[in-house]
Structure 1
Amino acid sequence: MHQLVKEFSLYQEITVYDAAQLYGEKGKYRFLQFSDHAVQGAIDLKDPKRIVLEYPRAIIHLMESNNPSFEKVFMIGHGIGTIAGHYPDKQFTVAEIDEKVVELSRHFFNYKLDNVVVGDGRQILSNEESGKFDYIILDAFTKAGTPFHLSTMEFFKLTKEKLDARGSMILNLMGKIKNDKLINAIYTTLRQTYPYTKAFSLPGEDAADIRNFIIIGCNKAVNFQSWAMAGFFEIELGQGHIIMDK
């Protein structure tokens, strides 16, 4: 593994690596990683258009299954721009709080689109017109996990206001599959706002393993094909508390 750059932004340590394998798969990869060693985005240098990580592949499937004609998407969390970069002809607004992440995505991962707004995602979303978006995607992480203000009842009500009648809210989260109080609370809070919800997880060797979750909230039944979920499988999450701003 070869380190290309390490940067210290106002929010975190960010490192870009080249590697001959990623998650056990041999090849030629480049990835961006935060200080908690979580990979925030990766590309296959031999096939840059291939989507390497499972969670963006699963999110793309959910988007195309539930509204194939979608046009407008709001994303919180840029990473290397995998999902927005996959749809150069769609209207994406990407909110990223860390300007250094945006710089690195352009320099090392060839992100060329001019659709990233630097700032707090919730604040930026609040200034958008109501009913504008087909999807809102939350893919934001700090050392402590998903930022608190992006997991509350008030935030989810804001997302519903900004979505059109067929719109969906999709979250990428990290946690444990059993007895994770925060994951259960986020899911329970989302269910107070959206009448149809589903949760999906990547497999793990042990119930205590930290893994990716994808949660979706809609105003209509959620469509998906298990074979197209990139290894994510549907799960039932436990009841949690309602997260409020105060």
Structure 2
Amino acid sequence: MPPFNWPFPRFRAFRSRAAVDRPVVVESGQFVSLYFDGREMQSSMLRAAPYALALGYTRTMMGFLLLQPAPRHICMIGLGGGSLAKYCYRHLPDANITVIEVNPEVIALRDRFCIPPDDERLSVVCADAALYLSATAQTFDVVLLDGFKEGGVPAELSDAAFYEACHSRLNSDGVMAANLPGEDPRHRENLARIRETFGSSVALAPVEDGAGNGIVFAWKNAAPLPPLEALMKRADQHAGQHSVDLVEAAVRIVIGARYDWTRQGPLNSA
């Protein structure tokens, strides 16, 4: 199968994790959104459906279920408005969820975004994710990376040691899904380091809403990516439990598996 590259429009990063950024909540008739200093949207919640995934990149990230259908413990890097945390909390009742967020002011807004309080299944930890993963002995079935600062992924969440820590903290059948902005100056390095860490067990999927970022799916075992037909059957098995179109995610993951990793170019390259 020939290499596949696709054009992406230019965009601004969705999530910021820098402690110096001050979160701002902007409310409209239908949405409650999180910004930093009123400039860049970090998260958006539908008033009428606070547990729904309003942004396409979050829906694409849920494609991890096609590779790990029954996670028992999920680690999320970056809380923001809590979209992924809330969705997984409601739709994956057998999963424990640990969220690592560096900014205490973001955590303080959890009630505004209808994020449930901590309980036996959900824990929001105020910590630097790189330090947390390097120190904890806990292992996870899924690691979701959605941590940003202005300009892209912070250096501490994009070096080789961090990706090695993510790999080490995954169980043998674990999956990592990382939201990577195409305009991040570290984009090539991030792709190369994930590839170096996970080998050929990776797929770079375009996001559902056509924004300029892509989702890297990486799995710990060396098994090849199942064919599209098998992924679509898995999507159908989840259909009654989820509001996300996992068939759409399956197609994007298979497309992403055709990315030309030897070029390691930006997502919007020709």
For the aligned pair, the TM-score class normalised by the smaller chain equals 0.7 to 0.9
Deviation string for 1:93-143 (max 9, x for gaps)?
11100000011122x11111311110100111122226x210111100111
1:43-94 deviation digits (Å, cap 9, x = unpaired): 111222221111111111x221111111111111111111121122321111
1:6: which partner in 2?
none
Q: Deviations over 1:206-236 (max 9, x none)?
A: xxxx722111111233455584229956344
| 2:51–2:83 CA contact under 8 A, matched in 1 | no
1:113 aligns with 2:122: no
In structure 2, what is the Cα distance between the partners aligned to 1:56 and 1:83?
Answer: 7
- Cα root mean square deviation, aligned: 2.7
Aligned length: 216
Look up the equivalent residue of 2:141 and give its one-letter code.
Answer: D
Shift of 1:37: 3.0
Task: Find the partner of 1:12 among 21, 45, 52.
Answer: 21
| Unaligned 5+ runs, structure 2 | 1-17, 233-245, 266-270
Distance 1:136-1:202 versus aligned 2 partners, 3 A rule: closer
| Pair 1:168–1:230, CA change in 2 (3 A) | closer
Shift of 1:155: 1.2
Q: CA deviation at 1:19?
A: 2.4
* Most deviating of 217-226 and 163-172: 217-226
Cα distance change on mapping 1:194 and 1:46 into 2, 3 Å: same
- When residues 110 and 190 of structure 1 are mapped into structure 2, their CA distance, relative to the original with a 3 A threshold, is same
Does residue 1:160 correspond to 2:162, yes or no? no
Q: Give the secondary structure class of the aligned counterpart of 1:159.
A: helix
1:146 aligns with 2:153: yes
Change (3 A) 1:182 1:203: farther
Contact kept in structure 2, 1:203 and 1:231, CA below 8 Å = no
Name which of structure 1's ranges 31-40 and 111-120 shifts more when overlaid on structure 2: 31-40
Letter in 1 for 2:103: D
> Between Structure 1 and Structure 2, which shows a larger proportion of strand residues?
1
SS in 1 for 2:263: coil
Give the aligned partner of residue 129 of structure 1.
137
How far 1:38 moved relative to its partner?
Answer: 2.9
2: CA distance, partners of 1:36 / 1:157 = 35
Distance 1:10 1:128, change over 3 A: closer
Cα separation, 1, equivalents of 2:159 and 2:176? 13
Q: Does 1:100 align with 2:105?
A: yes
